[in-house]
Structure 1
């Protein structure tokens, strides 16, 4: 699956997670709309105030007072809307994050032992903790800045069109420059953030393994190899982080440079139109204010895009965990083993963890009630594997295992495992 389709799939999953918070999303949108409308209305009021100042002794203080009160009321509405919107956005973000983390943890309980054996515990912890935190940060930025930014761009264009279509045309023609710059850089950050997130998981896994197995490391004098392994992962993490930071740091200054060009062109065009009487001084002031407000969301969005790329990469890793196949379900007609009588039989059992590396071949064992059997052998000969097969943490590749005369595949896993008393070697 290529990068674009993977990113699009992750985005659809994120939007799907928002379904449960749909009413809050709508409310946040309405508050953002009120905030943007109020913010864009203030420059119009300021422009009217400027037009009221005709010259010395000709200032309409009454009109200025009324306009000042309107500005104050509008600013109050904007402040209240933004405050409520921030509260709601935080609630949406952390509710979604909680649900995703709960899904991941609940699904973890259903994963087969083969998945847990194949993936270091530190990597799984990194996905559930670190990646979900990064996802939450990106989602919150998306609501607080991306949401408002898009509305601001659309609203500003509408207000500018109502003032003068010629100056607006200059803005529209130059806008693709800013979009192209942001797009060009953002497409190069996704891969680096994904590699960064993956390598961070490897580092967390290695540190966790070293802490759990420090006695073994010291007993076999493997300290130097452990440090070398950490240095190798740490070096890759540094490389990917620097590259991701380099590309993401380009976005904001490049878009600011392009937007400065847009502002200069708007100022020049507006001045020419004002000289010919096509627009008042107050109207030009409004337009210049809008040119700034039009450019600001692009700067904000360009900064948010890199964070969103990182958030999408982290969300993809969490969803990969959630999408892992669960342990094979019990057969529909599986029986419950209430009390085992002690008979255990392995008949021509064959098993391999890796398809081309057989571990157990045609093993036959019969244990009668009351017998005690000790299985001894060197590390890696299959002692733990036999326990895994008996308790159906893994299924055999050939042959069958019977407990109390019944095939264990015909029994529910829960009832089968309840009849075993397992004492782990770490106990």
Structure 2
């Protein structure tokens, strides 16, 4: 049943994203192309960082006098270009998301203004207003995370290109860790989804209990059932606490696991690079730049994992 629920949830998410594209996003194609261009530029400049490190260390080891002026200028130009691209990309993403939210709010209000009056009066005004504020904010965060996920994916591609350029042998060693890490992370993801589903189910049961208890407050007072209701409430809160703690523990495992896997990949790279240096092969510049690229490449997956955890 849990597998069926997970598949249904994924299908529902894809359906909603397709509807968002069909009804809103496809009308802003020039803005989307501009965002993609800025995203590719930011990712490409990020991928240049390890190459710059490689060049700087190689020139330092060779006692090249050009390091006094060439490398600082390159570093300043690359960092300023990336900062500018990142700024305009962030602004463009938020502008697109806010435009979609504005159109969505307009459509929602027009729908409610023309809806049956009995249906409108059936819901409290505060709940209707929440759909235009809190619910829309959740949609905005989801759209922002989706675009940022695309940015992180392109950044990883750029860093992989840097690693292949610097040392393809070290890249193959580091790449072995990713398939090995996929299995435990996938299992842990299923565990987190189960814990999240149990937590949401328990929250629903607790909310139903509270609604029923408050609705029958007069009956509880009349038959002096305060102690019984308090005991039931304590049991419900205890079960909710246990469900939240299970979900917290499941999520807390993932960061240390990624840390260990990343450290193992770096250790393998350092060991192999040390062996090559001992036999007189390989340079310190390539090695330093490669390690920098490897560490930078580990940041986007962790940030996306945090986003998925918050979304659940």
Same fold (TM > 0.5): yes
CA contact (8 A) 2:51 2:162 kept: no
Which sections of structure 2, spanning at least 5 residues, go unmatched? none
Number of the residue aligned with 2:72:
68
Which sections of structure 1, spanning at least 5 residues, go unmatched? 311-427
Number of the residue aligned with 1:29:
36
Structure label with greater radius of gyration: 1
Number of the residue aligned with 1:49:
56
Q: CA deviation at 1:167?
A: 1.2
Which one of the candidate residues 185, 188, 206 is aligned to 2:188? 185
Number of the residue aligned with 1:143:
147
CA contact (8 A) 1:122 1:205 kept: no
User: What do residues 79-130 of structure 1 show as CA deviations (whole Å, max 9, x unaligned)?
Assistant: 122222223333444555566677778778869989x99x999999998876
Number of the residue aligned with 1:83:
87
Which one of the candidate residues 12, 15, 38 is aligned to 2:45? 38
Q: CA deviation at 1:65?
A: 1.0
CA contact (8 A) 2:167 2:286 kept: no
TM-score calculated relative to the size of structure 1: 0.58
Distance, in Å, in 1 between the alignment partners of 2:251 and 2:96 is: 26
The answer as to 2:7 corresponding to 1:4 is yes
| Greater Cα shift, 198-207 or 253-262 | 198-207
Report the secondary structure of 1:46's partner residue.
helix
Q: CA deviation at 1:299?
A: 2.5
The answer as to 2:283 corresponding to 1:280 is yes
User: What do residues 192-242 of structure 1 show as CA deviations (whole Å, max 9, x unaligned)?
Assistant: 33444455466567767877x6xx734762773765665555444333322
The answer as to 2:181 corresponding to 1:174 is no
Distance, in Å, in 2 between the alignment partners of 1:189 and 1:128 is: 30
Number of the residue aligned with 2:221:
221
Q: How does 1:228-377 map to 2 (within 5 A)?
A: 231=234, 233-308=236-311, 310=312
Distance, in Å, in 1 between the alignment partners of 2:92 and 2:199 is: 31
Q: CA deviation at 1:74?
A: 0.8
* Greater fraction of residues in strand: 1
Q: CA deviation at 1:269?
A: 1.6
TM-score calculated relative to the size of structure 2: 0.76
Distance, in Å, in 2 between the alignment partners of 1:254 and 1:33 is: 30
Distance, in Å, in 2 between the alignment partners of 1:88 and 1:51 is: 38
Q: CA deviation at 1:282?
A: 0.9
Q: CA deviation at 1:284?
A: 1.2
Pick 1 or 2: higher relative contact order, CA cutoff 8 A, min separation 6: 2
CA contact (8 A) 1:47 1:283 kept: yes
Q: 1:220 to 1:160 in 2, by over 3 A?
A: closer
Distance, in Å, in 2 between the alignment partners of 1:101 and 1:207 is: 32
Distance, in Å, in 2 between the alignment partners of 1:46 and 1:183 is: 34
Report the secondary structure of 2:69's partner residue.
helix
CA contact (8 A) 1:248 1:303 kept: no
Distance, in Å, in 2 between the alignment partners of 1:228 and 1:209 is: 15
Q: How does 1:94-133 map to 2 (within 5 A)?
A: 94-96=98-100, 133=137
Q: 1:202 to 1:2 in 2, by over 3 A?
A: closer
Task: Count matched residues.
Answer: 301
> Considering only aligned residues, what root-mean-square deviation do their CA atoms show, in Å?
4.1
